[in-house]
Chain A
Amino acid sequence: MDLELLTQLTQAFGPPGYEEEIRAVIREVVTPLADSVWVDPLGSLVALKRGTGGGKKTVLAAHMDEIGVMVTYVDEKGYLRFTRMGGISPLMHIGGRVRFADGTVGVISVERREDSSKIPALEQLYIDVGASSREDAPVKVGDPAVFMRPLVAQGRRLISKTLDDRVGCYVLIETLRRLGPTPDDLYFLFSVQEEVTLSGARTSAYKIDPDMALAVDVTMTGDTPKALPMAVEMGKGPAIKVQDSGMIAHPAVRDLLIAAAERVGIPYQREILLGGSTDAAAMQLVRGGVPSGCVSIPCRYVHSPSEMVDVTDVEQTVALLSAALAPA
């Protein structure tokens, strides 16, 4: 496991629509590994690895963007009000910190409330960058920010902000590193704006016009106290998507992944995710339709600043993709 790379990936700035920093990190790593690399009109990065025959095209997509916040108002005293970029819950973020593109750090806190037993609304939270007035605040309306939290490796577990979906980006990069010759042309798509609209994967898949599309993203687990029942656990192997709230995986794609896992002896889990979806849902509907599926890395506390995954799950996801894409 290349922890240095994963650290770099998780810590790079990249809220939806503002993926420059993370794109630069990934571009530098994939450029020597790919036959060509380009940026699409909406900002997604594509690395193409040419196949050996047939010219069939497969897309592997992991999203570069991360959940964050956007400043909507700066008050006279320099406190910031904000809105969500992607699915964030007030419960997860009070007392946390955010970072703006220029490095400015802010603390998230909450107004005093009459009834403090209730979960506050997002409108009751504010960000304090330590400014003393509106004029003094180094931040303006429309500026995006992301949560801060370092990556920690503890035994076989990894804990960090933005494992959703930088761990998917990591899996794509590792797969690209390790893969030998493959029959299909492989398009490694590092997409933008998944957390808000899936519009990066949608538009890039249109341009590529693939024969098959796979998303690589995190999924939730059912293995924490009083979790919503879900037959996916952290540490039990990659999850092969059957269905989520945005799509039904194409059965042929699903079975291709299952057959590959069984052939090389990788443990896997069948995934049904009740709340949430991935880039695959958008890619499936491009042009005349694209057979699409998804391989998920089981992840606890998705969309909190401390997401947790298992190293073996990550490594086995790479192995599963490699087996599926380069049949021996």
Chain B
Amino acid sequence: MNSMSSGWQARAIQIGFVAALFLLWDFAGERKLINAILLPAPRAVFWKFIALAQTSALYTHLLVTLMELVLGFLIAAAAGLSLGYFIGRSRYGTIVFEPLLAGVFAVPIVIFLPIFLLFFGIGPSSKIAFGATYAFFPIVLNTIGGISQVDDRYVRVARAMGADDVQMFRRVLLPAALPVIVTGLRIGCIIGFLSIIGSEMIAGIDGLGSQIVRLGEAMNTAEMFAYILFVIFFAILLNTGLSHLQARFAIPGDGR
């Protein structure tokens, strides 16, 4: 009951915060405190947004970005989960590879973007490869962490009761590691989205990121903000979906 009401309170404050931000923005636009070319009024952006939603351009760009995200994420998840599992199962593998991968992840991999462009061209392939590379790290690191940190007691008791390898994986390692792994997938997806949009902005033809940069350069800021708004909505949707996924796989009684 208590946690319920405090949950609602927190949600109300979050909504209020966003609303206040919009009001401030609107107020600044009304009073012409800021040049409308630099920061168009929210109403103008809103109407642009509605108009945009009726054209096909938005969906073409959305589809490109979405396709890049889905493919990049799938590649990252497949590589990260399987590699993470095999590294995490072996104590020695964990000791060797965990710090190595964590170290590489600490490097701003975006410095290698030109290499990606050289290898994969300026089209979606380079965005997919770049997004997959970035998303791979949180996924593999969390999978290693999740699998290698499964409480030894559970493994021992399962072994004592006669669990074979498949049962050990399905009934012990996977459920024990899943919350940490799903967190990795969530972070991977969000970082993947970020790096795909980012790489589109730096060097791209199609996709939401490229479109935002192009509109900005053309001083078409109202439409640019409509796109930005759209990306923000999409990110919120993505994050909400992923949080639900995360909650579904949480171990009952954890973190209480």
Do A and B belong to a common assembly?
A: no
Chain B interfacial positions (CB closer than 8 Å to A): none
